[in-house]
Amino acid sequence: MKVAKLYSFHDIRIEDIPVPEIGPADALLKTRASGICSGDVMPWYIEKKAPLVLGHEPCGEIVEVGGDVTSFSRGDRVFVHHHAPCFSCRHCKRGDYVQCDTWRKTGIIPGGISEYILIPGINLENDTLNLPATLSYEDGVFIEPVACVIKALKRARIRHGDTVLVVGLGFMGILNGIISRKYGAETIIGTDRVPFRLRRATDLGFDNVIDISQAVIKKELHNITGRQNADIVIVCPNSVDALNEGISLTGEGGSLVMFTPVKPDELLYIDPNKLYFKDISIITSYSCGPPDTADALELLEAGIVRAEEIITHRFPIEKTGEAFRLTAAAGDSLKSIVVFD
Write out pLDDT tens, residues 44-65: 999 999 999 999 999 999 999 9
| All domains of the chain in start order, with CATH | 2-147+288-339 (3.90.180.10), 157-284 (3.40.50.720)
Residues 171, 335 contacting (CB under 8 angstroms): yes
Does the structure show a pLDDT above 90 at 238? yes
Tell me the residue type at 95: G
**What pTM, to 2 d.p., does this model score?**
0.97
| CA distances from residue 220 to 124, 225, 248, 331 in whole angstroms, order as listed | 48, 9, 13, 23
Percent of the chain with pLDDT over 90: 98
Does the structure show a pLDDT above 90 at 28? yes
Per-residue pLDDT, averaged over 197-224, amounts to 97
- Within 10 angstroms of residue 326's Cβ, the number of other Cβ atoms is 19
Cβ contacts of 288 within 8 Å, gap of 6 or more: 81, 97, 98, 144, 147, 148, 150, 151, 296
Quick one: angle between helices 195-203 and 171-182, nearest 10? 20
Separation of alpha carbons 291 and 73, rounded Å: 23
Separation of alpha carbons 181 and 72, rounded Å: 34
Does the structure show a pLDDT above 90 at 166? yes
Average pLDDT, the chain: 97
Q: Quick one: pLDDT band at residue 39, thresholds 50, 70, 90? A: confident
- pLDDT tens readout for residues 268-278: 999 999 999 99
Tell me the residue type at 258: M
Q: Which residues are 235's β-sheet partners?
A: 167, 258
φ/ψ of 133, rounded to 5, equals -60, -25
